[in-house]
Amino acid sequence: MNSKRPLVFVSAALPSDWVLRLASQFEVITGEDGVRSAAFAACRERIEALVALVTDHVNDALLATTPRLRIVANVAVGVDNIDLAACAKRGVLVTNTPDVLTESTADLAFGLLLAAARRIAEGDRLVRKGGFTGWTPTFMLGTRVHGATLGIVGLGRIGQAVARRARGFRMNVLYTQRTKLSEDIESALGATFVASLDDMLARADAVSIHCPLTAETRHLFSQGRLARMKHGSVLVNTARGPIVDEAALASALANGPLAAAGLDVYEAEPSVHHALLSQQNVVLAPHIGSADRTSREAMAAMAVDNVMRVLGGEPPLSPVESR
Ligand code: DGY
């Protein structure tokens, strides 16, 4: 049924009743499979706002089929699924959901670090299959986390939240990114800038990735770079899968230098490289960095607020600029 109210396409069921809030002012269609769904294809010419997920690829070809689209409200902080330049060219605003998921994602990164370094998931599997036959001094030895050196790639919001957790574990925190932060921020976090990623990798016992996925960071952790990591070190990725070459990671886990890894994101989600699936020393989480109830509620609320504001003629709360 075509109504006169602006049409909002919501890519998947959102937690709570945020869709009802949208529906009080707009026509709302919810798709089961995002922009790939038949529901999207059936109404694309009328859509004025798209509440998108990280699994929706919003590119120029798609935008060419949505002439009335005014806003893409991504329910995520990362926007690598959206062609920002194409949106800017067509006058489509893009928004994301920063801040509300920072601490949850840092919790998960730290959880993966602990689980990978201390072999928690591997131990759980072993106990379940009856492999725990008693304490011995050399049984399931892992890598020490407290007091170790943590290298953070990208000390933005989430990287800083990880650094705060690391301080509680008395870790020595290094970070690398394009720009050195102010000394005030560095000393509040107890973090030391290292200009070169390779230099940081040579010093870090554990490395946590918190940079966005861009053309420059795709396969930043290539075979060569993984080979330069410290012997026995641990790699954690809660940012975006394609930043790490998964095949090379599987080999660095099997043959060194890595002792373990914790991953929440993958190169071709929801697929995971087969060589990682058979590797015991990697903890594999299903992209749940922001998946605590409170954060997901807040992300949905923020995306809905952005849509309501833009369709109501106001500026969005969290616009993303085209890089
Ligand atoms: C994000 O916000 O970018 C996450 O990956 C979604 O949880």
DSSP per residue, 136-176 = -TTTT-----TT-EEEEE--SHHHHHHHHHHHHTT-EEEEE
Residue 17 has pLDDT above 90, yes or no: no
* pLDDT for 210: 98
Q: Is 321 a catalytic residue?
A: no
* pLDDT for 54: 96
Nearest ligand 1 atom to the CA of 288 is 7
Q: What is the mean pLDDT of residues 118-139?
A: 98
- Which pTM does this prediction carry? 0.96
Contact (CB, 8 A) for 39 and 32: yes
* pLDDT for 2: 60
* pLDDT for 243: 98
Which tokens belong to 77?
């902080």
More confident residue, 18 or 77: 77
Which tokens belong to 21?
């809030």
**Nearest of 190, 198, 168, 194 to residue 179 by alpha carbon:** 194
Catalytic pick among 240, 246, 273, 296: 240
Which among 11, 51, 77 is the best mutation to test ligand 1's pocket, defined by most ligand atoms within 8 Å of the CB?
Answer: 77
CA of 17 to the centre of ligand 1 (A): 21
CA of 289 to the centre of ligand 1 (A): 7
288: Cα separation from own chain's centroid: 8
Q: Is 164 a catalytic residue?
A: no
Q: Is 240 a catalytic residue?
A: yes
Which helix or strand (DSSP H or E) is residue 25 part of? none
* pLDDT for 1: 54
Give the span between the Cα atoms of 173 and 125, in whole angstroms: 31
